[in-house]
Amino acid sequence: MSNFINVEKEKMQKIIKGLIDKENYLGLNQDRSRLVGLGVALGINEPKNLASRLSLSRGEYIKNNAELEAIVTCATVMHMDKTGDLNEQLSDDSIFKCADECLNTGLDIIEDNIINKPMNNYKLKLLEELDELYEDYINNI
Amino acid sequence: MRIKSISIENYRQYKKLEFSFKNIKELKNDLNIIIAQNGVGKSNFLNAITWCLYEEESHLQDKNKALPLVNLQTIDETEEKGIISVKVLIKVEVNGEEKTIIREAKYAKNSSIKAKVLRTESHLIVKQKIFNPVLGYSVIDDVYDEYAEGIVNRMFPKGISQYFFFDNEQMNNYFKANSGGAIERAINEISKVSLVQNVDGRLKSAESDFKVDLGQNSELIDSLQKETTDKENKLNSEKAELNAIKEDIAKAINEIDELNEQLKGVENLKSLEESRKTLNDSLEDIKKDIDEIEEELNQFIVRQSTLIRMYPSFVETLNLIDQKDKDRQLPPDISLEVLKRSKDSKVCELCGNHIDEEHLKNVIEKLNRFNVATPVFELLLGIKRKVLELKSEAENYPNAKKAIMNKREAKYAKLEETQSKLNDIIKEMKSIPNQEEVTRKIDKREALTKTLNNLHEAKGLVDGNIKKYEQELNEANLKFENAINAQEKAKDKANKYNSVRRLRAIISEVEKETIEEMRHEISVRTFENFSNLIWKKNTYDRVEIDKDYNVDLIHVKGNSAIGSTSAAERALLALSFTNAIHEISGFESPIVIDSPVGRVSDENRRKFAESLAEISKRKQIIMLFTPDEYSKDISEVFDSIAVKSFASMNQSEDVTTIKEA
């Protein structure tokens, strides 16, 4: 069983040190667990498989964090075959693989957001986007 | 009494001036107005009068203090070692009779220094008609020097001359703290208590002599006499200390008043600076709060971005868990150990009830589900509670957003408001010139205020000491009196001593009562006059003169109002006080005022002029204005009721002439 989440090391470093630290985008440099959670959520609809590995310990980011564990498990449930073998599909390896893939996509989106972030009121624009998402995902169900 | 004319010769700017103060019968008012630019000789016209009467120049400006009082052109025209006569002649009419007051001083021109003259002699002459019983008709009699001074003093008592001849500065300062002395002198002068005080002084001296004399008869009396002297010295020393403190208090109050005057309009610099600092601090705090709110908002956006996007997966996962629960594939939501113990004891550990056969089957079924559950089902069960929480938090997004955005908006509004206030203050501060000087004055005022508080404390202590020494002195005097009355020898001297003491007590009582009466009468008359003149009716209740002769105007609400009156009101109160002094003293002297409206603000000038016009119906008023002071609102009041003249200077600015308009 792998001990590491499978994301592009350079990308993570670039985003964290180069962009998030520099711009303090949404305060994400203060809590990497939040970055991982957001990354998974942003990439949940389009997980991306990558070969390289990054030294993010599972224990540090997921196993010791009940909330993150719930999030990555739910992300995995979204993508699994509900008729297949649950034991296999919700094994640690499967969950971490799914988290890796979602996070890879999510980090791309975060990078894009930071680079293309509107200069003024970008937070209000993000809130507008959330309002729409809330309508689509929650209110209209 | 009125001043009919004045002739000035070689006095300062007035080389040769003959000027009559006309009293036109058609006019109800006896009002003469002289208009002159600054520097032409307005103040020196007033000085010429006081020099003639008292040989004093009470209104001398600084620039003239270094110059001789002899006209500069005359000095130039006079040969070396030549004699110049400086003369001021005032004709007054008293009860229909004319008196001429002449002050003449002779000056010798010193050849070595330009404009340097030395006074050689000075005389005061009063020419008046007296009835010659030998001739059987009146003749003009010339009275010289000290006899002339006596006549002048009876017409224009020097002790209260400042209530006949004054300028706006004096009017403004009339009731300042250190004016108590002048007012006390005026009241003493009018009430003639100085006569009584002189008698008391002589009796006091006699009392001391008797005491020493009586002390020679016995050692006891001698020691008691020394004790009374010692107590008296201590008392006098404390009284002197009290007077010194009072003077310092008056000085501090006047300096504070002066600084207040100078700081008018700019005195808020320091409070502005304090407000600026406070607002700056508030701004920093608000910015910190905003940083915190922005960080809170960041976390909120990140969290809700995560939760709302994850929402469908939460729903799906919870559905899956529910389904697996229904299929009994999940372990029960209860501890394995609790189930085991409950099964063994047949008592439910959760509710405490006995477990019957039917319920036991249920417990066993739950225990079996533990046996079949895999780690995956344990994981799903483990995250269920957390997923429910996250789902609920996502659903609450609108409310949470509203709360945080309201808080954020309120802080930004506060930031804007504070920044705007700060900008206004900075703008106001920038508009104040000489900020360093203003700050220095404000600091000085604060220091003086502290000094004043200390002085008041010191005064309280000295007051206490005086009471203590007065009591001790009374006791010592009593012991002394008992001792001398008990002895057989020198009975006669003891009786004389006792008589002097009784007499002094009576005199002291008379003095107190007279002054008290006078003080009361002046207060009442001043307020009557003031009430007639003041345009603000029903605002003030009375005038009070306290034991330190400080004059106060009391508001109808009972509080002291002298400190908050306008310059016009203060000037009017001064005029009312002057009039009261005139009326009570019987010295119906004319009033000569230099720059009467110099300190009166625009809106009150007309009202003040109307009040002066009212007074001029009862007594002669001579006023000196600059053309600026004699503004439209003033001229509208005076032009039709006054005789107006203009003073002007020659090109070399050493000779002034006055011509009727």
The 10s digit of each residue's pLDDT in B251-296 is 888 888 788 878 877 767 778 888 988 998 999 999 999 989 998 9
More confident call, B578 vs B654: B578
- Is the confidence at residue B449, as pLDDT, over 80? yes
- Is the confidence at residue A2, as pLDDT, over 50? no
Close Cβ partners of B515 (under 8 Å, ≥ 6 residues apart): B187, B188, B191, B193
Report percent pLDDT > 70 for chain B.
Answer: 97
- Is the confidence at residue A53, as pLDDT, over 50? no
Contact A77 B316 (CB under 8 A): yes
Q: What is the mean pLDDT of residues B169-196?
A: 73
The 10s digit of each residue's pLDDT in B91-136 is 999 888 899 999 999 998 876 666 678 888 889 999 998 888 888 8
CA B407 to chain A, closest CA, distance in angstroms equals 15
Structure tokens at A107: 């980090």
The 10s digit of each residue's pLDDT in B314-333 is 999 999 999 888 887 777 77
Phi, psi (degrees; rounded to nearest 5) at B43: -65, -35
CA A68 to chain B, closest CA, distance in angstroms equals 10
Nearest Cα neighbor of B105 from B89, B115, B120 is B120
Quote the pLDDT of residue B541.
92
The 10s digit of each residue's pLDDT in B362-390 is 888 888 877 766 778 888 888 999 999 99
What does the H/E/C string look like for B167-231? EHHHHHHCCCHHHHHHHHHHHHHHHCHHHHHHHHHHHHHHHHHHHHHHHCCCHHHHHHHHHHHHH
Mean pLDDT, chain B, integer: 86
- Specify whether the backbone of B248 is left (phi greater than 0), alpha (psi in -120 to 50) or beta: alpha
Q: What is the mean pLDDT of residues B590-604?
A: 81
Q: How many CB atoms lie within 10 A of CB B99?
A: 19
Of A50-54, A90-94, B92-96, B207-211, minimum mean pLDDT range = A50-54
- Is the confidence at residue B336, as pLDDT, over 90? no
CA dist B467 → B226, B234, B238, B473 (Å)? 20, 11, 10, 10
Q: Which residues pair with B14 in a beta bridge?
A: B11
More confident call, B650 vs B528: B528
Structure tokens at B109: 């021109």
- The residue of chain B with its CA nearest to that of A89 is B376
* pLDDT band at residue A19 under the 50/70/90 scheme: low
Quote the pLDDT of residue A131.
96
Q: What is the rounded CA–CA span in Å between residue A25 and residue B53? A: 91
Stretch 286-315 of chain B: residues touching chain A, C-beta under 8 Å? 294-295, 297-299, 301-315
Instruction: Report which secondary-structure segment, H or E, holds B512.
Output: helix B491-533
* pLDDT band at residue A13 under the 50/70/90 scheme: low
Quote the pLDDT of residue B372.
65
Measured between its terminal Cα atoms, the distance across chain B in Å is: 25
Contact A74 B313 (CB under 8 A): yes
Q: At what angle do helices B269-326 and A122-134 cross, to 10 degrees?
A: 30
Q: What is the rounded CA–CA span in Å between residue A44 and residue A105? A: 8
E strands, B473-587, in order: 540-545, 551-555
Quote the pLDDT of residue A127.
94
- Full DSSP string of B100-116: EEEEEEEEEEPSSSTT-
Facing residue for B383 by CB, picked from A69, A78, A138: A69
Residues of B in contact with A78 (CB under 8 A): 312-313, 316-317
Q: What is the rounded CA–CA span in Å between residue A19 and residue A13? A: 9
Residues of B in contact with A65 (CB under 8 A): none
What ipTM was reported for this prediction? 0.88
Contact A138 B377 (CB under 8 A): no
Q: What is the mean pLDDT of residues B442-449?
A: 88
Which of B291, B294, B301 has the highest number of chain A CBs within 10 A, making it the mutation to test binding with A? B301
> What global pTM score does this model have?
0.55
Q: What is the mean pLDDT of residues A109-129?
A: 80
Facing residue for B313 by CB, picked from A77, A126, A134: A77
- Is the confidence at residue B61, as pLDDT, over 80? no
Could you tell me if B248 and B177 are in contact, meaning their C-beta atoms sit under 8 angstroms apart? Answer: no
**Amino acid of residue B266:** V
Query: What are the helix (H) ranges across B66-137?
Result: 72-77
More confident call, B659 vs B181: B659
The 10s digit of each residue's pLDDT in B65-80 is 778 889 988 988 888 8
Q: What is the mean pLDDT of residues A23-52?
A: 79
Q: What is the rounded CA–CA span in Å between residue B69 and residue B106? A: 11
- Is the confidence at residue B395, as pLDDT, over 90? yes
Q: What is the rounded CA–CA span in Å between residue A75 and residue B319? A: 14
- Is the confidence at residue B407, as pLDDT, over 80? yes
Q: Is any Cβ of chain A less than 8 angstroms from the Cβ of B381?
A: no
Quote the pLDDT of residue B440.
87
More confident call, B267 vs B575: B575
- Is the confidence at residue B574, as pLDDT, over 80? yes
Using DSSP bridges, classify how beta strands B2-11 and B14-20 pair: parallel, antiparallel or unpaired.
antiparallel
Q: How many CB atoms lie within 10 A of CB A107?
A: 25
